Amino acid sequence: TPWKGHQVLLEALAQMPGIELELAGGSFPNDADYVAALHRRAEQADLRGRVRFLGHVDPLSTMRGWDVAVSPSTSPEAGPISMLEAMSLGVPVVGTAHGGTSEILAGGAGLLVEPGDVEALVVALGRALTDTQFRHRSFEAGRRFIAEHHDLSRTLPIMLAALLAP
């Protein structure tokens, strides 16, 4: 869907020769024109052969092969599950500085860029792909965030207590 920011990501990728992109997930029926436009953009000379539309896939097995996960949403998301999944696997994350993404990445688990800022996304992706120290720090921070905030052995008892409280 357009607010997920795929167009921004494709424009950033166009400035990064040699980098390939996998877009995972499906689309809403009303977004057929948008998806067709993404496919047309991906076939232009500067991107041809570097973008794969995977459709629905098993997220964890797919993400294990990624060097970076990107959430370039142009509108705020409450809590992008794909980012949490990537962080649980130690995959560095680049996301946009709004909504739940800001909270999730605030502790150093990833890099934040302004929504719609292609140039900032290029810089962040370049760093996420090449800065070994950042990759190590984001791995540690991401795993720590998941353990502290999304480990079922900790969060489920808290949720049950809240639900069963008088």
Pick 3 or 152 by higher pLDDT. Answer: 3
What pLDDT does residue 62 have? 97
3-state helix, strand, coil in the chain (%, to 5): 55, 10, 35
50 pLDDT higher than 90: yes
Burial of 42 (0-12, 13-18, 19+ CB in 10 A): buried
What pLDDT does residue 61 have? 95
Task: Write down the H helix ranges in 6-98.
Answer: 6-14, 32-42, 59-63, 81-89
Asked if residue 11 lies in contact with residue 70, where contact means CB atoms within 8 angstroms, the answer is: no
SS3 state at 14: helix
Report residue 133's pLDDT band, with 50, 70 and 90 as the boundaries: very high
159 pLDDT higher than 80: no
Average pLDDT over residues 113-135: 97
- The per-residue pLDDT for range 8-33, each reduced to its tens digit, is 999 999 999 999 999 999 999 999 99
Angle between helices 152-164 and 132-149 in degrees, nearest 10: 30
What pLDDT does residue 126 have? 98
Percent of the chain with pLDDT over 70: 100
In which residue are the tokens 């720590």 written?
Answer: 144
List CB contacts of 44: < 8 A, sequence separation 6 or more.
14
Average pLDDT over residues 148-157: 80
Rounded mean pLDDT of the chain?
93
Residue 160 and residue 84: Cα distance in Å, rounded?
Answer: 22
Q: Name the strand (E) or helix (H) holding 23.
A: strand 21-24
Two tokens, residue 87: 């962080």
- The per-residue pLDDT for range 56-112, each reduced to its tens digit, is 999 999 999 999 999 999 999 888 889 999 999 999 999 999 999 999 998 898 999
What pLDDT does residue 156 have? 79
